[in-house]
């Protein structure tokens, strides 16, 4: 469809496979599968949930929220449920929000989901973006406990970079009279790369300093899966070998808010991550937004 090749895509991004939602398959469909897998792994029944937060930029509907749709499918009716849009940093923001609810004593158990069907907003004639994005979902269950799992989160945003990565369609600005309603990702790739590397360096340093840690204390880096070059740059900043970095971008592509929980799930289920290890999760996305979560598994 565009002038590219498998070799070009792999060389520039590290991506060799992606997953695209089937016709009629929605973000909530993907979120439900991830949620059920997480609930089963945690041994938590949907009726025990006090909160559901879904990080997504591609909700099924404008309203009700995908979290509300998911809640009903799971049979968790009655608990608080809402969506959160922080683009690719959506899962980190959602995790921080649920953690804050638990720390405040308002919630005991929370389901946090990152889910996207980005293929629905891709301009398949734009080589710069169409090779990057895929669909997916990942989820975790948080529970109040005397031993913290989420040690700290650090969140940031700067709306001054809007023009470098955005979608021009919205409700109050209006839909466009174009094919697919003008829904497409607009990205200035080289500039996004520069800011991403710089801000992720800063948030890694902030996380270490704020928590009194050295680089060697981190057992695993679980980064947003946008581009292998960005991941490698962050690993160099941490002086961490790539063997200690969870990489799934080669198989999933950039799944936005779903990428960090997908990578976490893959690493946990494969047995790579062991109890007691220290994990650094980080992400960067449109807005710009960026953030980190420090977790003791």
Phi, then psi, of 136 in degrees rounded to 5: 175, 180
Residue 287 burial by CB count (10 A; 0-12/13-18/19+): exposed, middle or buried? Answer: buried
Residue 236: CB atoms within 10 A of its CB come to 12
Catalytic option among 85, 224, 227, 252:
224
Mention every residue, 6+ apart, whose C-beta is less than 8 A from residue 177. Answer: none
Catalytic option among 28, 68, 79, 88:
88
Residues 6 and 15: their CA atoms lie apart, in Å, by 9
Whether 227 is a known active-site residue: answer no
E strand or H helix that includes residue 70: helix 66-74
Structure token pair of residue 52: 């559901």
Whether 181 is a known active-site residue: answer no
Q: What is the CA radius of gyration of the chain?
A: 18
156 within 8 A of 207, measured Cβ to Cβ: no
Mention every residue, 6+ apart, whose C-beta is less than 8 A from residue 265. Answer: 34, 37, 38, 138, 139
Q: What angle do CA 122, 60, 47 make, to 5 degrees?
A: 140
- Residue 33's alpha-carbon distances to 89, 236, 263, in angstroms, are 21, 35, 16
Whether 180 is a known active-site residue: answer no
**Would you please indicate which residues are annotated as catalytic (active-site) residues?**
88, 224, 254
């Amino acid at each position: 469809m565009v002038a590219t090749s498998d070799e070009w895509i792999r060389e520039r991004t590290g991506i060799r496979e992606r997953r695209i939602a089937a016709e009629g398959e929605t973000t909530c469909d993907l979120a439900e599968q991830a949620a059920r897998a997480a609930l089963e792994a945690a041994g938590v029944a949907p009726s025990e949930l006090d909160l559901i937060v879904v990080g997504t930029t591609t909700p099924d509907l404008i309203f009700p929220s995908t979290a509300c749709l998911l809640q009903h499918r799971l049979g968790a009716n009655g608990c608080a449920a809402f969506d959160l849009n922080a683009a690719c940093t959506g899962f980190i923001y959602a995790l921080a929000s649920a953690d804050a609810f638990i720390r405040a004593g308002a919630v005991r158990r929370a389901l946090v989901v990152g889910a996207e069907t980005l293929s629905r907003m891709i301009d398949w004639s734009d080589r710069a973006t169409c090779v990057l994005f895929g669909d997916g979902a990942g989820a975790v269950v948080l529970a109040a406990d005397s031993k913290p799992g989420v040690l700290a989160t650090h969140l940031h945003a700067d709306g001054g970079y809007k023009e470098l990565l955005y979608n021009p369609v919205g409700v109050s600005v209006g839909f466009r009279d174009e094919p697919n309603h003008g829904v497409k990702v607009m990205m200035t790739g080289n500039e996004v790369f520069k800011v991403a590397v710089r801000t992720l360096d800063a948030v890694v340093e902030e996380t270490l300093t704020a928590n009194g840690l050295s680089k060697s204390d981190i057992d695993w880096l679980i980064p947003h899966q946008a581009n292998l070059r960005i991941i490698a740059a962050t690993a160099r900043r941490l002086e961490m070998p790539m063997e200690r970095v969870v990489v799934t971008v080669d198989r999933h592509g950039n799944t936005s808010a779903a990428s960090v929980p997908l990578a976490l799930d893959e690493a946990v289920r494969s047995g790579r991550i062991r109890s007691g290890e220290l994990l650094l999760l980080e992400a960067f996305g449109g807005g710009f937004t960026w953030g980190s979560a420090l977790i003791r598994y």
